[in-house]
Amino acid sequence: MSQVDGSFSIEKIPPGEYRTTVSMIGYRRFVDTVAAVPGGGRGLEVFLRPSPIQAGQVVVTASKRRQLLTEVPVSVSLVSSASMERRNIISLDDALRYVPGVNFVQDQANIRGSSGYARGIGSRVLLLVDGIPLLTGDTGQAVWESIPVSEIDHVEVVKGAGSSLYGSSALGGVIDVITKNNVDTKSTSVKVYGGFYQQPTYNDWRWSGKDRFFQGASITHSQPIGLGDFGLTASLSYKKDDGYIENDFFRRLNFFFKTAGNISGNKSLKVFGDVFNQYSGNFLYWQDVNHALQPASTSLGQWVNSTRANLSGIYTNVVSGNFLYIVRGSYYFSHWYDNLGQTPTGVGDTSTSNTGYLELQGTLNLDPSTILTFGADGQVDYINSNSFSDKTSNSGAVYLQGERKFGRLHATVGARYDYEKIVGKAAFNQFNPKAGLVYDLGRGATLRASVGTGFRAPSIGETYASIQSGGVSIIPNPALLPERSLSEEIGGRMPLWYFGLIDAAVFQSDYWNMIEPQFNNSGQVTFQNVTRARVQGCEIDASSDAGTDFLTLRASYTYVYPLDLTTHEVLKYRSRELFYLSADFSKSIYRASLDFRFISAFENYDKQLVQLGIVRSGDQRVPAYVTDVRAGVDLTSAGIPLEATFIVNNLFNYYYVEMIGNIAPLRNYSLVLSWKF
């Protein structure tokens, strides 16, 4: 039996030695041997340490409800808050770079080859925060840095088309940020970090005689507020980066708040919001490979200023043991302006978007083996922009999904009907079904298979953009059509005895009317529908604690073959191979970790950028071999609320590009200090 202070005892067991295991999601498993003798046994003190390996995971994104990961018919990866703290992640996209099957072309997420590079406009990956969409209304992009990392509990990455539940923009997958739970105790945490970039090896690249620094600080306070069990959390953070590339600096300020609790025994409410402002320089392409850290002279002095604000609410009512419903709503404001080039109005680009979202979802247990998930949602966008013109768009959808267990077989069937309309343009209607099977082989092993369709309506930015960017003119294409997909996957999970797990999958996605930026005969860029494309591949992900309580290992390999079936060329900006490896060591107060990433060089790109002289030496690219290491101490168990970590990213100072003409971060060093009270 256990007490309120956490102490516990186990009574009425036969004498002998017992292997005791204590585990919790997001923490390393605790294992010890305890002797039970007549009259009592020795005391056992349990201290759980954060771990990037999670066992028996529960996810909410794949089916819009809580379920065991072993019941999900598609591939899902999780990122824990502990792993983000360990890596000193300051922007969500940096955390996602370590997820199997995920890589980035600058700030655009690519899940299993579904996306290339669309110049910051449009996304085939849907970003959610607690199930609420967070894509800008004008460009339809994810603003990763606007989400305060300190308030993330974990991130769920669903791979493959998710349109049958989430609609447009879930064509390539879904990334759902789950914020931390309600607080029931008063606490304050402070984090500061600072570091610098190493100067480049080549003298021609050394554009500044000064060291380039980065630093940041955040403070978070949580406490009950005296209204039932409601708690309040507020955080403020500031980050500054001088930039290792000339004119690639930023200044960021984030404020976040959340309150959550039970209104009554069966009704709960969560309200959260944030305000984010960033002032940053603009660097698109280098001068040439001999001046790789300097932009073209015409780009010097360019900057972008952006402000984003979000207010969201989630109301949950558990009507009975068999039925609950959830109401989600949000308002998302986005405004940015810059001094880049000239637009038809003769001033810099600027855009303001206001987005409202509302969803009603129900979950009904018809019997112990049958669950229905159903709902409806709607969204409206108001855009005021000299870059995309003033536009209004609205959308609505209904969806239904059923799940049933037949002994060891778990079957899922669902569909969603979407309506999308940009005022002044023909409306789009789309029906997206899906089906999935999971077979329980026993002892934690499962087989899965799924098939589903997806679609994505073009964003206002893709349809009506009229922008000068990096020497390229982007012009509107009002005739742009939605893109559609059909995705299939077969996979399985198998425990590695009692100290690890392996997950493997093969997959294929076919695309019709895929939207990609293309050069026309006049050297201008417009978003166009590629007639047909196909992405095939396989993925294997293995994790293990190596039979110890102090060392965990994880390795993943992803291979994709992304083909344009019209031109018979590999799709642009897609890497065929990804290999990620991580190792974490923790013993007593000491901790250390290593991450290695291999990303093969993309084979195809916008060759016109090089041929027209816009990106000199733009054909220079190599595979990426990136190694990050960390070492530190956690004095919490010694009664001192302090953690200190020293980090070296890109240990071997390897030079590579994610996008042509743009060097990825050089070797950098940082020290992170965290206090919790």
pLDDT of residue 399: 96
- Written as one string, the DSSP assignment of 629-662 is EEEEEE-GGGT--EEEEEEEESTT----EEETTE
pLDDT of residue 569: 92
What whole-number distance in Å separates Cα of residue 261 and Cα of residue 506? 42
Domains, the chain, ordered by start: 10-48 (no CATH), 58-676 (2.40.170.20)
CB 580 within 8 A of CB 553: no
Q: Does residue 42 carry a pLDDT above 80?
A: no
Residue 607: φ, ψ to 5°: -65, -25
Question: For tokens 């759980």, what's the residue?
Answer: 48
Mean pLDDT, residues 495-510: 89
CB 576 within 8 A of CB 542: no
Q: Does residue 28 carry a pLDDT above 70?
A: no
Q: Which percentage of the chain shows pLDDT scores above 90?
A: 55
What whole-number distance in Å separates Cα of residue 44 and Cα of residue 611? 70
pLDDT of residue 549: 72
262-290 per-position pLDDT tens digit:
888 789 999 999 999 999 998 888 999 99
**Which of 281, 293, 309 shows the shortest CA–CA distance to 134?**
309
Token couple for 469: 């960017």
pLDDT of residue 52: 41
526-585 per-position pLDDT tens digit:
888 887 999 999 999 999 876 677 888 999 999 999 999 988 999 999 999 999 999 999
- Burial code (b: 16+ CB inside 10 Å, e: under 16) for 522-557 equals eeebbbbbbeebbbbbbbbbbbbbeeebebbbbbbb
What whole-number distance in Å separates Cα of residue 351 and Cα of residue 332? 14
442-476 per-position pLDDT tens digit:
888 999 999 999 888 888 888 888 887 767 788 88
- pLDDT band per the 50, 70, 90 thresholds, residue 116: confident
- pLDDT band per the 50, 70, 90 thresholds, residue 124: confident
Q: Which pTM value belongs to this model?
A: 0.89
Q: Which long-range contacts (CB under 8 A, 24 or more apart) does 610-614 make?
A: 610/660, 612/523, 614/285, 614/470, 614/471, 614/472
List of residues 6+ apart from 33 with CB closer than 8 A: 17, 18, 19, 20
What whole-number distance in Å separates Cα of residue 671 and Cα of residue 645? 6
What whole-number distance in Å separates Cα of residue 591 and Cα of residue 629? 11
Cα dist. 189→43, 150, 271 in Å? 31, 10, 21
Q: Residues 100, 102, 107, 113: what is their CA dihedral angle, to the nearest 10 degrees?
A: 160
- pLDDT band per the 50, 70, 90 thresholds, residue 298: confident
What whole-number distance in Å separates Cα of residue 214 and Cα of residue 495? 42
Mean pLDDT, residues 88-114: 90
Per this entry, what is the length of the chain? 677
48-84 per-position pLDDT tens digit:
655 444 445 788 888 888 888 888 999 999 998 888 8
Mean pLDDT, residues 313-320: 94
Average pLDDT value for the chain: 88
**Which of 459, 488, 493 shows the shortest CA–CA distance to 388?**
459
What whole-number distance in Å separates Cα of residue 114 and Cα of residue 173? 8
pLDDT of residue 291: 93
pLDDT of residue 498: 64
Least confident of 8-17, 127-136, 287-296, 447-456: 8-17
Mean pLDDT, residues 638-653: 94
Q: Does residue 26 carry a pLDDT above 60?
A: no
